[in-house]
Amino acid sequence: MSGKPKWTREQQDQLLEELIEWLEAGKTLRDFCREPGKPSNPLIYRWIDVRDGMDLRIVRARERGCDAIAEDSLAIADDSSGDMIVDDDGEVRFDSENVARSKLRVDTRMRLIAKWNSGRYGDKLQVEAVKPTQILVDTGVPWSNEQLRALSNGTTSGSDT
């Protein structure tokens, strides 16, 4: 015996439910698996793969987790409790290190959720053409010259496209 725990189906389901709550709180799968008594990342992924709809539940949990991280970022940005300190001379002064650390914490979180959920948290890029521009799009689908002409004229060619 390898010493690794054997998980019953019921235990697996319970752990997956715990994982969903964990992810919804804005925590990572990696940290979940580092908790004592938790399975490894690859094992969790195998469990997810064999359960209908579990992958979608994980995606939704991660989306909610991004919301939780955004809310945490707002709380960090709003927290000014450590911005002023009393130095060794008893003088109250601005703690630029605390402010810089808070900024780093917020920026890191927001950049991560922009990558993880770009549709909601990513920067939106709008492209405008100053003059009429042709763009070549390679779809990988062969088109005849007749079909391309019809498409560029806004008509159909009569043949199946």
- What's the maximum distance between 2 C-alpha atoms anywhere in the chain? 87
Average confidence (pLDDT) over 119-148: 75
Entry pTM: 0.67
Mean pLDDT of the chain: 87
Q: Which residues, at least 6 apart from 37, have a Cβ–Cβ distance to it below 8 Å?
A: 5
Assess contact for 34 and 28: CB atoms under 8 A.
no
Residue 108 pLDDT exceeds 90 = yes
Residue 87 pLDDT exceeds 50 = yes
The pLDDT of residue 161 is: 45
Please give the backbone phi and psi of residue 115, each rounded to the nearest 5 degrees, phi first.
-75, -45
Q: Using CB atoms within 10 A of its CB, is residue 158 exposed (0-12), middle (13-18) or buried (19+)?
A: exposed
Q: CB atoms < 10 A from the CB of 72, how many?
A: 15
What span, in angstroms and rounded, lies between the C-alpha atoms of 138 and 20?
39
What fold does the segment set 9-121 form as a domain?
Answer: Arc Repressor Mutant, subunit A (1.10.10)
Category of 58 on φ-ψ map: left (φ > 0), alpha (ψ -120 to 50) or beta = alpha
What span, in angstroms and rounded, lies between the C-alpha atoms of 149 and 156?
9
**Cα-Cα end-to-end distance for the chain:** 60
| 143 or 70: which leads in pLDDT | 70
